[in-house]
Amino acid sequence: MTGAAPDRATLFSVESNCPVVDKPAILYQDTWEGHIRVRHPEVSSRLGDIKITVTAPSYAANSLPGPGGRNNNNLVLVNNSSTLETSYLHVFLTQTASEWRVTSAIFSNNYHSDKVWDVSTSGIQSDYDADSDVLYLSKGEPQSALTESSPEGLLLRYGIKDHVPCGITVLSYKGDWQDYHDLLTLRVTDFLGVAKAAAKRALESIP
């Protein structure tokens, strides 16, 4: 059985802005008390940093493979802003059918394998022009693009060089879309291939 026990206490359950983490990420109290704080006491006062790392990591990477294929389902989220001397906070997640479980946390320089996602190239940037009521959303740095209109009137932008979705222009954002954040979040998530939490935060950042 891969689901969580219904009475298992949780310390947090959050969505991550990393699109690889496509289900809620949960830290259970017994994992925190029985494993992480015991095996890695250096993180025992950094519970808040662990939650931030899961919610908004700097990058994600595959775990180092263990004996007999152990750790093959593990993902490492790294927070470059949470440090201990010269090491960065690494949080380990294991995927199940219904969730990602936080299984460990350590400070390290590079305790992982290949990167699979980096916020510096995959984050959503937003720019709102209040005078014209136009919202510009871009995945990574804004770039020259080809544009086509969606059925709802969103302007979908594709990079000129690679034709990969790179941004969305929302005309009459406050006039037509401010009461439809859930729908707009879904459209941004699907088109740009980013996490729902990242799209939601980008829209909520608009004054």
The confidence score (pLDDT) of residue 122 equals: 65
End-to-end CA distance of the chain: 45
Beta bridge mates, 148: 156
Q: Mean pLDDT by 10-residue block, N- to C-terminus, for the chain (207 residues)?
A: 64 91 95 96 96 93 72 84 94 94 95 84 83 92 90 94 91 94 92 81 83
The confidence score (pLDDT) of residue 72 equals: 60
The confidence score (pLDDT) of residue 168 equals: 96
Cβ distance 37 to 106 under 8 Å? Answer: no
CA–CA distance, 184 with 8 (Å, rounded to integer): 35
The confidence score (pLDDT) of residue 142 equals: 80
Can you give the C-alpha Rg of the chain in angstroms? Answer: 19
